[in-house]
Structure 1
Amino acid sequence: MRRSELPKRELISQRQSPAARERLPPGGLELFALLARLLRRPRRGDRRLPLLWLVRSDTADLMVPLRRFFGQGPRRRVPHAVLDADVPPGAGDVPALLRELHRQLSLEAFGAARLRFRHYPLADWLMQQSFTLGVDADDSRAALVRRLRDRRGPRTPEALPSGGDAVSIVSQVLLWLVRRAVPGVVFRAAVSGRVPVLGRHYNWFMRQQYLAPRQSVTFLGFAERLTAGWRDGEQPDQVNKLLLHAFLEDLRQAYRRRPWRPSDWRRTAYPALLIDHVAPGNVGGELVRLIGDVRTETGRNDPLLIVASGGQPPPDLPEPHPLTEAEEAYDEWAEALPEMRRLRRPATWLVALRPDETDTGPPSRGGVRPFSAPDPPWWSRRFLPAALCLVLVAALGLWVASRWGPGCHPSLTGQVSVEVAPSGECVGYSDSAAQVFNNDPGQDRLRTVQRRIFAQNRAAEEVWQRSDRRRPFLTLVYLGTLTGNLTRADEESYVSEREELEGMATAQYALLKESAGADGAALLRIVVANAGRQMIYADQAVAMLAGLARDDPTVLGVVGLVESRTSTARALRELNQAGLPALAPTLSADRMDANSRLYLQISAPNTDQVKLVDAYATQVLKVNDAHVFYTTLEGSSLTEDLYVGTLVDGLRQRFGPRITRLDEWHTGQRLIDECGYTGLLFYAGRWSEFDGFLRALRECGGNPPRHLVADDSANRYMANPGLRAAAPGNLPVTYVSKAALATCAALRAAQDRRDDARASFLSRIQADDLLDPPRCRPGAEVQVGERVSLAYDAAMMLIRAVESLAARLHHADPRQRWEPSAVNPVAVHAEVLRQNAGQGYPGVAGLIRFTADSGEPVDKRLALMRVEQVPDVARAPVGVFRCGVADVPGPAVCGPA
């Protein structure tokens, strides 16, 4: 089957009425089959389109069916224009013919988006501009610039305001800038050709080849040459070719296919130009010649199909082909085109066709179905961008939901970096109230202290700015477990973390109360960071903090870490790799300092805790045997829980055979065998199971074990009034305390003996504008909290080290501004150890001393506190035994408190 047979069958309408049929010359159907073939745009690439010259016949006129073929498509019509070279405006000159062609093709009347032109309208507009002869060249150029700038619409000149209030004047000036000044600057940049993004259509005129644009240097000079009067010195043929080249360039750009613009792929049919009464000597023949010349000279194809109808073809054409051989004529032309273009043969792009005069058969009486542009690909339909946007929005929503969520989202204010962990916890850091960790019921006090810290952050920044940035300014990160515990709606489950934050807030508050003229007193900003339950997301949080430290040179250390676990050890190693010192107020697992050379521990290690318990058992209780029960949180083990693991190992080594029972206790396990036990019953587990342990002992009734002692983790339970309320009332408990020197009674006694450090601490925690509620006030005795003083000591150690470094840096000029990059975290750690090398650091919770090769404190004070009835929250615990030194170095003796 020949290629033309299928299109011919499609073109023959079986439903047309006889009135709609035209008498076609022999071969007419072959011509329309070729046109249908050429108009269909390939899915990939583009074809070269010829200039079809139809020789008019005396027996049949093809113009009527051609017009119906192009102009009466049932759905999406071919963009086309119909011109008559003998009737105005077609009978005018080439610019007039192009103007009419532009008008017809610009109509939105073809069932698709209209063709947009940028280069041709500008060139045509310039040719219609005229200036008075004899006018100064500078004035002519200025007038052209004004017309070009205002070409898109007239603009009323805006005058600057001459009076009114300040707000009115400012608004008028801004309005003038928006309407006149800014557009003028943008226009100048566009026509200059120096800004690649702006004025691309201006730059095109300077890159094309007609009228030697480089002789004008700038676009404005070239544009001036196109205006009336100035154009008289140019060759008319070159001017016409420039106009035509600009017109074809607009068509090329309209028919570009860009992957990121599906609308480009909806143009499935080439535009067509139908010209009647074309002759070699008239304007129609001139336009056909110019189109062929521009295609050959520029070497660029365009998507315009031209069908010219005239009495005689150009003399430089070979003998026209019969209409019956239309497809063969096109194939022959397409094969010879590359060689003809290379040789620049006359009429390279022309294919002449004529009715076959030798054909004696009757003219074809078949009707011609109007041509419709093919349907665009499904993925270029108009619904696709909307659907794609919906998919992207949905995907973005899912990604945001997986990364952030309610109460866990980034902020434009402050330094906030958070993500939702797989468990649903909000992990990351924040220094502003835009992100407050933990929105669970019952955790109001935890949120309150965070907001207090963030408010003091703003105050510290303001004080630093008012001091002309002379005071040292540092940032400490609190890294802890702020989410993940299962709690009742009325249960405060993060007492220890809240207390540590209160301790750091107290240190921050103390610095804000320093005199405005104290240039050497530091100012503290605190970043609160959450590593999730059991610190399991410590790796993720530390990675975020490492990025913060790289971007912010004021970040000099990390305080917190809360629990001694393998995840905490990994976090320490990563903090060490990031060069950040880590100060742990309450970690006590043995040899945690092996994970970081920048680690410092405020509390005594488990080795010292075991010594304390052993001394108490032998010196006070006078017992030899012991029962030890330990616990770990669900999903954990002794290997992962370094605190419980090293504590149990220490008890084994210290007590040896005196431990007659060593068991892991689980929730729900009965302890009736321990009723009336006269030896040491030691709880070596986590605070979260201590409540269940006490409930199990309730079965003993009036015969409880005589000597129940708990490790220092139990102080987190003892600090929680809600949990203690349901404990057995007849069961006394003794537990290890790391801050017995910072109870309300101890602080008041220190105040009486004029201990300035503890007296100052006491006055701050009693203040109205810091802790909620204030602590140690007479008549409303609210205990300090085990960890408030420990976190306060950790923060103050780093602060004093920074102040010491700042004093040395500012020795030559005490009025010098503080430069955050002048010190680094490693230098601060070294300064802490240097200050500690003598008498140690006098902390509120006891003297802190380190050796040169260890981050664990030496002989740090530990004590045993006793409560006679656990539910009696109002009565303060009483110290019964202690080990370690309090204020001055000396023998680390143990004895009654």
Structure 2
Amino acid sequence: PHAVLDPATRPGADDIPAVLRELHRQLSLEAFGTARLRFRHYPLADWLMHQTLADGVDAADSGRAALVRRLRDRRGRRSAEEPPVTGESGFGTALQVLLWLLRRAVPSAVFRIAVSGRVPLVGRHYRWFMRQQYLAPRQSVTFLGFAERLTAGWRDGEQPAQVDKLLLHAFLEDLRQAYRRRFWRPGDWRRTAYPVLLLDGVAVGTVGHTLVRLLNDVRNETGRNDPLLVVAVGDEPPPELPATRALREADEAYEEWAEALPETRRLRRAAAWLLVLRLEAGDVVPPARGHPPGALAAPDPPWWSRRFLPAAVVLVLLLAAGAWADRRWAPDCHPSPTGQVRVQLVDGECVGYSDSAGQLFNSDPGQDRLRAVQRRIFAQNRATEEVWRRSEHRRPYLTLVYLGSLTGNRTRADEESYVSEREELEGMATAQYALLKESAAADGAALLHIVVANGGRQMRHAGRAVTMLEGLARDDPTVLGVVGLVESRTSTAAALRELNRVGLPVLAPTLSADRMDQNSSLYLQMSAPNSDQARMLESYARQVLKVTEAHVYHTTGEGSSLADDLYVSTLVDGLRERFGDRLTRLDEWRTGRRLTQECGYPGVLVFAGRWSEFDGFLRALKECGANPPRHLLADDSVNRYMANPGLRASAPGNLPVTYVSKAALATCGALRAAQARRDDARGTFLGWVRADDLLEPP
């Protein structure tokens, strides 16, 4: 950026404001290849010098009020025309009050805070005027008092030289800020050449000479550097520095001047910032061909300050944030602003916990009833909180976490694949429902808040879920324990150990692998261990079926192994121990393997695997046609298959199956029989699950 001035050669320093005004106009033009220089301090000082206030002591208050109003309007407070708000209604009155706040009260308060200079980052240019040294600003106490001294009329009592130095100091401060290198603003680094002022016709007593002298004084007195380079052209050297150097010696003269500058600045020499070069005959030579005179090229800005960089950085950050969010969350797996929700996308599964309808686990087709029971639980959570609030927190308030496998199974669009998990949640919803039905006066009756947590398919990510639950238990003292864990695997055992470390008790309705209790001292297993199941299967074969020989096939499910599947491995070990030599075949069955060798087998054929492979196992036996194996026994995992209406309907019709059940006393038939016997507990439970306002459908 550059400016060229040829000020009039009349004596006096009264024209310094006019010179600075013209210099400000030229340097503010957006014509130098980079963003135009922006000024804040100098325009404010120049504007104040053009203001005229009321004269006289009695008019001081009104003059100050006028100055405040003009300063506020200068900040763009509001337009002169304000659309009126009419209406006699309360809404119209409230809208008028709101508009008054937005148009007048708020801007006025912000302006008062800014001019006070007491709040960091607000009104920094006002604060600068009170901290610079010209015109003794501290005597005015506030910026408004100092600003009043700069206005026309009031300024007559100030020293003109001090006023000129203030204007020049404000102008140079704007240049300093424009050329300040800040790493978070790459645009600042694109300025690679200082602004140049060419003063022509400079002679002693002219405004040009006065400007050069004031520039030297301001730099010495403030101790601040600025980026302005002034080239003054005159017929005679200034009286401050009569010694001159020839133009051809410019390089040596510059080095000597730069070396002596720190000392001359400290001594405040009148010519500390002057370097005088003398033009002699022969110094001016014709320019080389193709190089016009004055063709000075500014250095190129660094590559990282190019205009494309901010957009590129923002784009990269957005892409990185999008990739991170895509790995961590999905449209059906995201944090919710309401309730206690913490989830994370792990291997395509939404793992974590939720107590709010803002996050439901499993958006697969066909899982409507699983989502419906979650919505029911979460709605009852809100009702529970309301009842607890109305009881003034007198009733006990408990939180239980259900941790199960709610995602990951491959299912058809018309197949409900999480029947067991859904029924477990329905049981918890029923318990919650029963406690909500207690009388409001029953201060001793507990209220139940339920958090639903997902450990992923085969509980593979149970450890990740427990890590999240640890934070929940730390933040929420009402968390009493965890229910579920559904499958006996090594990942489940590791989760049990972590829950024990956290101090959360675990109630497991279906876990049955042997020695699961060794993983936690806060563990209660409701089902019999696999050693009991193996003993029962052997006794049933020997005492009821009257057969002794057995064939056992085991499966662990896709992506799992016998070492990882504690349920299958301990069950197989128990069967091997119970049947002993009578176990004539122990083999692993895989999908697609034929079982024609089992057609007509007179002994007991035992399926000791996971329910997910039972359908394929039955289809393999379907090849036997009218000669199926004589006795087919299945383990308790097959309960999940039997609870799935779609799978059960497609099963072969010529294969009688006997399977182990852990819930014989909770079937509808057993409950109806208990109700007929006036068993109040079971009868009441049957009434709850048949209620119209709980399960969908009842």
TM-score tier by shorter-chain length is: over 0.9
Distance in 2 (CA, whole Å) between partners of 1:701 and 1:118 is 94
Distance in 2 (CA, whole Å) between partners of 1:467 and 1:273 is 79
- Once the two structures are superposed, residues 657-713 of structure 1 have per-residue CA deviations (whole angstroms, 9 ceiling, x without a partner) of 343333222233333343333433322211112222222322333333333221111
Distance in 2 (CA, whole Å) between partners of 1:435 and 1:124 is 60
* Equivalent in the alignment of 2:487: 563
Q: Does 1:387 align with 2:312?
A: yes
Pair 271,481 (structure 1): closer, same or farther in 2 beyond 3 Å:
same
* Equivalent in the alignment of 1:149: 72
Q: Which has the larger displacement, 315-324 or 584-593? A: 315-324
Among 629, 638, 644, the residue aligned to 2:568: 644
Amino acid paired to 1:612: M
The aligned runs of 1:579-658 (5 Å cut-off) are 579-658=503-582
* Equivalent in the alignment of 2:58: 135
The aligned runs of 1:774-853 (5 Å cut-off) are 774=698
Pair 728,292 (structure 1): closer, same or farther in 2 beyond 3 Å:
same
Q: What secondary structure, in the 3-state scheme, does the structure 1 residue paired with 2:682 have?
A: helix
Among 146, 167, 175, the residue aligned to 1:251: 175
* Equivalent in the alignment of 1:376: 301
Preserved CA contact (<8 Å) 2:552 2:608: yes
* Equivalent in the alignment of 2:477: 553
Distance in 2 (CA, whole Å) between partners of 1:257 and 1:347 is 29
Preserved CA contact (<8 Å) 2:247 2:283: no
* Equivalent in the alignment of 1:123: 45
Among 107, 111, 119, the residue aligned to 2:33: 111
Q: What secondary structure, in the 3-state scheme, does the structure 2 residue paired with 1:99 have?
A: helix
Give TM-score scaled by structure 1 length: 0.73
- Once the two structures are superposed, residues 74-124 of structure 1 have per-residue CA deviations (whole angstroms, 9 ceiling, x without a partner) of xxxxx2222223169998432222222222222223333211111112222
Displacement of 1:533: 1.1
- Once the two structures are superposed, residues 503-531 of structure 1 have per-residue CA deviations (whole angstroms, 9 ceiling, x without a partner) of 11222222233334433333333222221
Q: What secondary structure, in the 3-state scheme, does the structure 2 residue paired with 1:676 have?
A: coil
Preserved CA contact (<8 Å) 2:489 2:566: yes
Distance in 2 (CA, whole Å) between partners of 1:363 and 1:627 is 112
Preserved CA contact (<8 Å) 1:118 1:201: yes
- Once the two structures are superposed, residues 478-510 of structure 1 have per-residue CA deviations (whole angstroms, 9 ceiling, x without a partner) of 211112122233222222112112211222222
Displacement of 1:743: 1.0
- Once the two structures are superposed, residues 617-674 of structure 1 have per-residue CA deviations (whole angstroms, 9 ceiling, x without a partner) of 3443333333322221233222211111222222233343343333222233333343
Displacement of 1:748: 0.9
* Equivalent in the alignment of 1:891: none
Q: What secondary structure, in the 3-state scheme, does the structure 2 residue paired with 1:405 have?
A: coil
Distance in 2 (CA, whole Å) between partners of 1:268 and 1:554 is 63
* Equivalent in the alignment of 2:606: 682
Preserved CA contact (<8 Å) 1:90 1:96: no
Among 285, 299, 308, the residue aligned to 1:364: 285
Displacement of 1:196: 0.9
Amino acid paired to 1:248: L
* Equivalent in the alignment of 2:20: 98
Q: Does 1:495 align with 2:419?
A: yes
Over the residues paired in the alignment, what is the CA RMSD in angstroms? 2.6
Displacement of 1:534: 1.0
Q: Does 1:308 align with 2:232?
A: yes
Q: What secondary structure, in the 3-state scheme, does the structure 1 residue paired with 2:427 have?
A: helix
Q: Does 1:572 align with 2:496?
A: yes
Among 661, 668, 680, the residue aligned to 1:737: 661
* Equivalent in the alignment of 2:103: 179
Preserved CA contact (<8 Å) 1:460 1:512: yes
Distance in 2 (CA, whole Å) between partners of 1:472 and 1:166 is 44
Among 137, 143, 154, the residue aligned to 1:213: 137
The aligned runs of 1:321-360 (5 Å cut-off) are 321-356=245-280, 359=281
Among 472, 479, 483, the residue aligned to 2:396: 472
* Equivalent in the alignment of 1:779: none
Distance in 2 (CA, whole Å) between partners of 1:89 and 1:341 is 27
The aligned runs of 1:709-720 (5 Å cut-off) are 709-720=633-644
Q: What secondary structure, in the 3-state scheme, does the structure 2 residue paired with 1:737 have?
A: coil
Q: What secondary structure, in the 3-state scheme, does the structure 2 residue paired with 1:477 have?
A: strand
Distance in 2 (CA, whole Å) between partners of 1:472 and 1:179 is 51
Q: What secondary structure, in the 3-state scheme, does the structure 1 residue paired with 2:342 have?
A: strand
The aligned runs of 1:746-761 (5 Å cut-off) are 746-761=670-685
Amino acid paired to 2:181: R
Distance in 1 (CA, whole Å) between partners of 2:205 and 2:124 is 37
Distance in 2 (CA, whole Å) between partners of 1:719 and 1:253 is 75
Q: Which has the larger displacement, 296-305 or 106-115? A: 106-115
Amino acid paired to 2:70: R
Q: What secondary structure, in the 3-state scheme, does the structure 2 residue paired with 1:351 have?
A: coil
Displacement of 1:729: 1.7
* Equivalent in the alignment of 1:15: none
Distance in 1 (CA, whole Å) between partners of 2:102 and 2:524 is 60
Distance in 2 (CA, whole Å) between partners of 1:87 and 1:323 is 25
* Equivalent in the alignment of 1:400: 325
Paired residue total? 692
Q: Which has the larger displacement, 174-183 or 330-339? A: 330-339
- Once the two structures are superposed, residues 46-99 of structure 1 have per-residue CA deviations (whole angstroms, 9 ceiling, x without a partner) of xxxxxxxxxxxxxxxxxxxxxxxxxxxxxxxxx222222316999843222222
Amino acid paired to 1:274: L
Displacement of 1:139: 4.7
Preserved CA contact (<8 Å) 1:405 1:420: yes
Distance in 1 (CA, whole Å) between partners of 2:562 and 2:313 is 52
- Once the two structures are superposed, residues 164-223 of structure 1 have per-residue CA deviations (whole angstroms, 9 ceiling, x without a partner) of 212111222111111111112222222222211211112222222223333444333333
Amino acid paired to 2:251: E
* Equivalent in the alignment of 2:187: 263
Displacement of 1:229: 4.1
Q: What secondary structure, in the 3-state scheme, does the structure 1 residue paired with 2:339 have?
A: coil
Pair 270,734 (structure 1): closer, same or farther in 2 beyond 3 Å:
same
Displacement of 1:421: 1.4
Preserved CA contact (<8 Å) 1:472 1:522: yes
Amino acid paired to 2:480: L
- Which structure ranks higher in relative contact order (CA pairs < 8 Å, sequence separation ≥ 6)? 1
Displacement of 1:161: 7.7
Pair 87,498 (structure 1): closer, same or farther in 2 beyond 3 Å:
farther
Q: What secondary structure, in the 3-state scheme, does the structure 1 residue paired with 2:403 have?
A: strand
Q: What secondary structure, in the 3-state scheme, does the structure 2 residue paired with 1:397 have?
A: helix
* Equivalent in the alignment of 2:468: 544
Among 437, 440, 461, the residue aligned to 2:364: 440
* Equivalent in the alignment of 1:780: none
Distance in 1 (CA, whole Å) between partners of 2:59 and 2:435 is 74
Displacement of 1:467: 4.1
Pair 606,318 (structure 1): closer, same or farther in 2 beyond 3 Å:
same
Distance in 2 (CA, whole Å) between partners of 1:90 and 1:605 is 107
Amino acid paired to 2:239: P
Distance in 2 (CA, whole Å) between partners of 1:701 and 1:172 is 86
Amino acid paired to 1:152: R
Pair 668,330 (structure 1): closer, same or farther in 2 beyond 3 Å:
same
Distance in 1 (CA, whole Å) between partners of 2:255 and 2:172 is 24
Pair 698,467 (structure 1): closer, same or farther in 2 beyond 3 Å:
same
Amino acid paired to 2:36: R
Distance in 2 (CA, whole Å) between partners of 1:624 and 1:399 is 59
Q: Percent identity?
A: 75
The aligned runs of 1:11-90 (5 Å cut-off) are 79-86=1-8
Pair 402,522 (structure 1): closer, same or farther in 2 beyond 3 Å:
same
* Equivalent in the alignment of 1:295: 219
